[in-house]
Amino acid sequence: MTAQRRVVAEVLDGEHVHLTADEVHSRAVDKLPEISRATVYNTLGELVSLGEVLEVATDKRAKRYDPNAHRPHHHLVCAQCGAIRDVHPTGNPLADLPDSERFGFAVSEVEVTYRGTCPNCAAA
């Protein structure tokens, strides 16, 4: 555990939002000016492998990193401004996929993304 990794972890802990790698980097630089982009990417990659952080691929260009990896949840995305909220739907989508629709895959995860318009964008 080096200073750089601690800073990346702190950035993600402090804000429990959904940051892009670049945003993580900017905030890390505020705390440790000499940290490099490559290190941020490396560290994020390690955190993902360790299961501490989730990669979220909404349809935006950049992946986002979600530190709330231990509590399973899904996402609600504003189609206009890209705002993301964590949501906890009822039901178990894994159970909704019959064997006949699995094509021999060993299915291990489901990711559900709801899309819509957030109150802010609806008002504007």
Partner DNA sequence: AGCTTGATTTAGACATTGTCTACTCTAGGG
Partner DNA sequence: CCCTAGAGTAGACAATGTCTAAATCAAGCT
Q: Does 81 bind a second copy (CB under 8 A)?
A: no
The binder of 104, among a second copy, DNA, none, by C-beta within 5 to 8 A per type, is a second copy
Given the structure tokens 């995860």, which residue do they identify? Answer: 109
Binders of DNA among 28-47, rule CB under 7 A? Answer: 32, 34-39, 41-43, 45
Question: Measured from the CB atom, is 20 or 68 closer to DNA?
Answer: 20
Q: Does 97 bind a second copy (CB under 8 A)?
A: yes
Q: How far is CA 38 from CA 12, 25, 46, in A?
A: 17, 9, 12
Q: 77 CB contacts (<8 Å, ≥6 apart)? A: 58, 59, 83, 84, 113, 114, 115, 116
In whole angstroms, how close is the CB of 101 to a second copy at the nearest point?
A: 5
